[in-house]
Structure 1
């Protein structure tokens, strides 16, 4: 995200650009190549704003960098071995990023730092802190009005803006667990770190619940309430989620979630409150 005060993408970046910028190999925009015409951007020092707190946005960024880096050839900087992490600074020796990197806390802190840099910085943050093109209902987005960079998808060979629609395209390209694989929790986290379509840096947040819940006189329908909440999340809250720049998972995932965890149409007895599984258990 760049603090240039626009509503749509003003800069296009490819994987080599991302590797160079976030490793510290590129410290000036005249080292960064526009993927649309192969020319270098006009000169100007790059300040990278990263999240100092452990955060899921760092997890998504580093997952993509791990998939597409190392540092571009021809640079003099020490290469960074990118791994998936929520702690960005830990990627560097002694957990100390290069001198042109600035730490901030959370998406709100990154946005504030970018605004203070007045066009000289690049960072990463949630869409609800960017602009109303991405998050039309978000108050921070209205205030910040940050410009965003489009990313070049190497498979579709097109620049892609970080809209929730393009994130959903990326997630939808990942196969939904089926059969016996449905009982493996890790397979329900779509690996879209380098998707064949959509926005190249995309991922999901996880909702973790128990399967079995105890019934008490003051909470007689806990399991049913959890199911109602999740149904509401996937069906009725979509406009609120979209308005803040996010999306529910693609419909094929929603169907699988409902059939596996909110009912037992899958026949795997993984659904919340399944009597044959939860009957002898105390639950939560």
Structure 2
């Protein structure tokens, strides 16, 4: 009896320890998922969970505090999204939860490209203009010969994201700026491609996660897709296409995003996710993938853990080595300094920092 009681007590302690070890719940974007969790050099702390659901579900789970969307229970403490919070999403959140949970914070996590992997026999130097990319991904051109002005009759097979995806939003934002009659800005490919909801060619293939794209492209000759830089060699033209003559290297992504200004009103989450839809120089499809946190947490331990992670991530060098190893680019130093001053140390005096006493008194994301 004593032994069974001791075993039961030990299991209870282990269960409690496990629950406490995974105290900060989050999830979302698949594009940076391996950087965040699951790899030897992932950057999220051990007690942060991360459910890979795609940006759309990630935002929804956080904005409605619905942990079931991450296949768990309790409070959703953060999300990651390549898709920017819309004005409607922000307004709805503020109406429904702003008064009880406090403000939310949207921050650029790392800079990324949307690379265009391809497999075409006899072609290892594919270079497409943005207009040609529009033609291929919209279905306006159905063979590689039509697309490139050759006699090649190989069908173009597009591998697209079948779920709500921030990667799709980044892609479609650029295509919309170049060919607005063929693409709208949307997180869902079938809605981004116009007319929205129209039938796709029968040989096109939808995959759920960014990790599946390159594999599906490589499976069939004539395929082309779009994916984040983690998992493909974005520096190799034999693997991913140049767009307008430019390879999606770190230097070219930095060049594209260099014109993005710092926020002039730090209290507005939208200003912390700058958009450069069609940069004048650098790689065409460059953007930031984002973190979404609450400013206020009723659990002081969660607030401390969130603040500690932000302090590490936005320090210099911070997580720069791991970020580069996964094909991403650290946020520029001036942006890091601005995040630190506003959301960690409050040296700006804007009272935007995590669990600021004057803002978060009696409000916060639930225990």
Q: Which runs of 5+ in 2 are unaligned?
A: 1-116
| Number of the residue aligned with 2:210 | 107
Superposed, which structure 2 residues align to 1:46-85 within 5 Å? 46-70=156-180, 80=182, 82-85=183-186
1:26–1:185 CA distance, 2 compared to 1 (3 A): same
| Number of the residue aligned with 1:16 | 131
Mapped pair 1:175 → 2:261:
yes
- How many angstroms apart in 1 are the aligned matches of 2:184 and 2:196? 14
Mapped pair 1:199 → 2:300:
no
1:283–1:129 CA distance, 2 compared to 1 (3 A): closer
1:148–1:42 CA distance, 2 compared to 1 (3 A): farther
- How many angstroms apart in 2 are the aligned matches of 1:190 and 1:123? 25
Higher strand share: 2
- How many angstroms apart in 1 are the aligned matches of 2:238 and 2:314? 29
Q: Which runs of 5+ in 1 are unaligned?
A: 34-39, 71-78, 135-144, 153-158
Deviation of residue 149 (structure 1)? 0.7
Q: Is the 8 A contact 2:131 2:179 kept in 1?
A: yes
| Number of the residue aligned with 2:311 | 231
Mapped pair 1:163 → 2:249:
yes
Deviation of residue 224 (structure 1)? 3.1
Deviation of residue 146 (structure 1)? 6.7
1:54–1:258 CA distance, 2 compared to 1 (3 A): same
Q: Is the 8 A contact 1:110 1:125 kept in 2?
A: yes
- How many angstroms apart in 1 are the aligned matches of 2:131 and 2:322? 35
Mapped pair 1:29 → 2:144:
yes
Q: Is the 8 A contact 1:2 1:147 kept in 2?
A: yes
Question: What root-mean-square deviation, in Å, do the aligned CA atoms of Structure 1 and Structure 2 show?
Answer: 2.6
Superposed, which structure 2 residues align to 1:138-157 within 5 Å? 147-152=239-244
Deviation of residue 209 (structure 1)? 1.1
Q: Is the 8 A contact 1:3 1:121 kept in 2?
A: yes
- How many angstroms apart in 2 are the aligned matches of 1:275 and 1:63? 39
Q: Give the number of equivalent residue pairs.
A: 244
**TM-score using structure 1 length:** 0.77
- How many angstroms apart in 2 are the aligned matches of 1:50 and 1:283? 35
Equivalent residue in structure 2 for 1:125, among 227, 232, 242: 227
- How many angstroms apart in 2 are the aligned matches of 1:50 and 1:93? 15
Deviations 1:220-240 (A, max 9, x none): xx4332121012223422111
Deviation of residue 49 (structure 1)? 1.1
- Describe the SS at the equivalent of 1:199: coil
- Describe the SS at the equivalent of 1:160: coil
- Describe the SS at the equivalent of 2:159: strand
Higher RCO (Cα < 8 Å, 6 or more apart): 2
- How many angstroms apart in 2 are the aligned matches of 1:273 and 1:172? 32
- How many angstroms apart in 1 are the aligned matches of 2:175 and 2:364? 44
